[in-house]
Structures are given as C-alpha cells and as structure tokens.
Amino acid sequence: MTEFLFNWLVNVPAFAVPFALAALGLILSERAGVLNLGAEGFMLAGALAGIGVTINGGPPLAALAGAMLAGMAMGLVFAFLTASLRINHVIAGLALVFFADALTRYIASYAGWTNQAIKGLEPIFLGQDLVVWATPLICLGCVLLLNRTRFGLALRAVGENPAAADAAGIDVTTMRILAILLGTALIGLAGGYLTVAVSKIWTGSVVGGRGWIAIALVIFARWHPWRAVLGAILFGCIEALIPRIAATGADVPRYFLQMPPYLATLAVMIWSATRSSGGGAQPAALGLHHIREDRD
C-alpha cells in the first residue's frame, strides 16, 4: 500500500504541471479581458516545438524555451486578430485551435518528427524535474505581477473596465497584446512540458483535450492563480491514479474515477452562481472589445 501511494504521489506533479501552467497562462490573458479558447492550439504549438528542438539536438531547457516562443508566435497571431482587428474572441480562439492542429501535424510529418522517441527532461530532486519545482514559483510570480505591480493593476483594469482604464491613460490594445503574449508563453511551455517531460514522443493527438480542461480549470479557480494550481493538482491526482488502480486489477469502474474533477468544477460554478455577489471573480470585460468613444 505504501508503495502504491508513493508511486501514485510521485507521478502526480508530471500530470498536474501542464494543467497548472496552461491555466496560469489563461488567467493572465483573461484577467486583461481576452477570452482565450485557443489553449489547445497554443499547447500543440509548444508541444511540437519542444519535440522539434530536442530531435535536432537541443537540450531540454532549449526545447522548453522553444515551446514558449512557439506559444508566443501563435499568441501574436491571436493578439493581432483579437486586440488589433477586434475579431470575436471566441471565433478567433476556436479558429486558431483548428489552424494549430493542422499546422503542427503538417510540420511534424514534413520534418519526420512523428513517433520519434526522445530522452527528455530528467528529474533533478526528489524524482521531480526542474519545471515541477519552478511551477509554484511561476504561480507566485503571476500573483505578484497581478496584485503587486502597476503593470498588473493596469492589466486588471483593462479586463474590468477598459473605458476607465483608457481614460486613466492606459493603452488598452497594448496591454491586451502583452497579456496575451505572457499568457501564451506559459501555455506553450505547458505543451512543451507535455512532450519533452511527459510523453517523450510526438503524435498529432498528444495534447488530447488538455487545453480544454485548462479552460474549465480557470472557471473552477474563479481566475485566481493559486486555486488554478490546486485544481491542476486535483486533475493530476486523478490522471495518475486511474492507470495505477487499473494496473492492480481492482474492480473499480474507471468512468467513476474520471468524474470527480468535473463534478468539482460544476459544484464550484453552482456555488459561485448562487452567491449573492453575483458574477463573482469573472473579469467584467471578458471577451468584450474596447473601441474608444464608442457608446455601448
């Protein structure tokens, strides 16, 4: 039993980290009022870049840096569409997911990176790798950035009331572009971690819907970084537990095991919806465009 618990717990971080990083990235852009449904696509870009750099001889850290850059490159497209051209956030995000899906598969098959096993990121301490240890610090960084800096104040102002922020002299478009780039760097890192440290192989389906779960996590966390990490750990516990229970041969239906995180998400949403304060933590201008001197 001790061995089972140990094997389970030691594997939780590797599953939790992609969810946590992606959710943190989403929170950064959504707190600036940019509704980001493109997480799956940014993760795919990062995942492919991580594999590509590694196969071409780059060390794991370079691969992760490449993943962040790839996420940001896609983020730049998203920022151009949403912040500059003011295209509907939902449509731009969904279109980018499909675009990234096709583009990454095309590049991977053109370059011959599919199904190539790599060595990947090695553990450094207590069986965990660098990114696992860095994730709480990244979360702390997000909290400090959002709550303790002028930049964070401006970012949140743009997400809550862009007209007021604009009147106060904050460049709404620039703030949103910066928020998207910061966020997509983290989401790209989440994807890169998935291939460089977890699967250690690329196939077109490697992200497998984890970007969508990260979006649910952000709602679950009510746009708060620490709660997003807690939610990610919950999902990580489940992902690490299911195959281990199955491997022992215990007769537990896996469909029931997969339910708790989603039930928790639903419960949190119901809880926050029934609270008297109403909308809760959702940024007031989430998904809304700001056009100067335009009357709503």
Q: In the chain, what is the greatest distance between 2 CA atoms, to the nearest angstrom?
A: 65
Distance separating alpha carbons of residues 276 and 31, to the nearest angstrom: 22
Would you give the binding string for other proteins spanning residues 153-192, x where CB under 8 A is met? ----------------------------------------
Taking the complex as a whole, the smallest distance from the CB of residue 216 to other proteins amounts, in Å, to 17
Residues in a beta bridge with 125: 128
Interaction between residue 121 and other proteins (CB under 8 A): no
Q: Is 7 in the site for other proteins (CB under 8 A)?
A: yes
Q: Does 17 bind other proteins (CB under 8 A)?
A: no
Scan for tokens 């997911």, then name that residue. 97
Structure tokens at 125: 């301490």
Cβ-contact 40, 100 below 8 angstroms: yes
Decide: is 259 part of the binding site for other proteins (CB under 8 A).
no
Q: What is the CA 267 to chain-centroid distance, rounded?
A: 22
Tokens of 187: 């989401």
**Residue 287 contacts other proteins per CB under 8 A:** no
144 binds other proteins (CB under 8 A): no
**Cα separations (Å) of 210 from 26, 38, 168?**
13, 12, 38
Quick check: 1 binds other proteins (CB under 8 A)? Answer: no
Determine the Cα–Cα distance for residues 144 and 91; give it in Å rounded to an integer: 31
Instruction: Choose which of 239, 265, 286, 289 interacts with other proteins (CB under 8 A).
Output: 239
Stretch that binds other proteins, among 178-186, 224-232, 250-258, 281-289 (CB under 8 A): 250-258
| Chain position carrying tokens 């959002």 | 146
Residue 94 touches other proteins, criterion: CB under 8 A? no
- Size of interface with other proteins, in residues (CB under 8 A): 35
| C-alpha pair distances (Å), 296 with each of 164, 289, 292 | 14, 10, 11
Min CB(91)–other proteins separation in Å: 19
Pick between residue 233 and residue 288 the one whose CB is nearest to other proteins.
233
Which residues are at the interface with other proteins (CB under 8 A)? 3, 7, 11, 15, 105, 109, 112, 114-115, 117, 194, 198-206, 208, 210, 239-240, 243-244, 246-249, 251-254, 258
